[in-house]
Structure 1
Amino acid sequence: MKTATLPPVRIEPAFRQQVEEVLQPGETLTQLVESAVRTAVAARKSQAEFLRRGIQAIETTRLEATGIPAEQVMAGLERRLAAARQSRTR
């Protein structure tokens, strides 16, 4: 398979100097850019999958009517917070 190139990115000379200062021994600017792009792509894929699973869980909860009403959850948290505050003042 043939390789492809990423589009060039224009940056300020001062920023390029900062980038070059953090290169590891033997590492090229191209390697750093490729690594950064791969990391960003992986993070975005992970975030998209996380959101997909969350939305799916919400829909399943709605369809099965197995959720706990927000008011009930909030009331329980308020009780726990009040108890923690009370025990802290003792």
Structure 2
Amino acid sequence: MKSATIPPLRVTPELRQAAESVLQDGESLSSFVEKSLVKQVEFRKNQAAFIARGLAARESAKESGKYVSKEDSLEALDAILDKYRGTK
């Protein structure tokens, strides 16, 4: 697969310095920017999928008329947390 380039990115000197200040040993600014771009793309895909699932759940609840109360939802989440924390 051929590689492609990202358009040049203009930033303030302060932002460039801040980015360079957090580079790990042997890490280049280019690799840092690439990793950041990959993570942001992944985040936005996950965010879009999360929203789509939420909207689908809303439509399903509207169609079925079956809803779960806030209290029941929070209680179920607390039970899951307790299980993994080993508190109950």
TM interval, shorter chain, is 0.7 to 0.9
Deviation sequence 1:2-33 (CA, Å, 0-9, x none): 11011111011122111111100000001000
The Cα offsets for residues 16-71 of structure 1, whole Å up to 9 and x where unpaired, read as 11111110000000100000001111111111010000000010111111126xxx
Q: Distance in 2 between matches of 1:43 and 1:63?
A: 30
Query: Runs ≥4 in structure 1, deviation > 3 angstroms?
Result: none
State the superposition RMSD in angstroms.
1.6
Q: Specify the alignment match of 1:4 in structure 2.
A: 4
Alignment coverage as a number of residue pairs: 71
Instruction: Give the distance between the partners of 2:31 and 2:45, measured in 1 at CA.
Output: 21
1:55 counterpart residue number:
55
State TM-score, norm by structure 1.
0.72
Match of 1:66 in 2: 66
Q: TM-score, normalised by structure 2?
A: 0.73
Indicate the structure (1 or 2) with the bigger Cα radius of gyration.
1
How far apart in 2 are the matches of 1:61 and 1:46?
22
Distance 1:15 1:61 in 2: 46
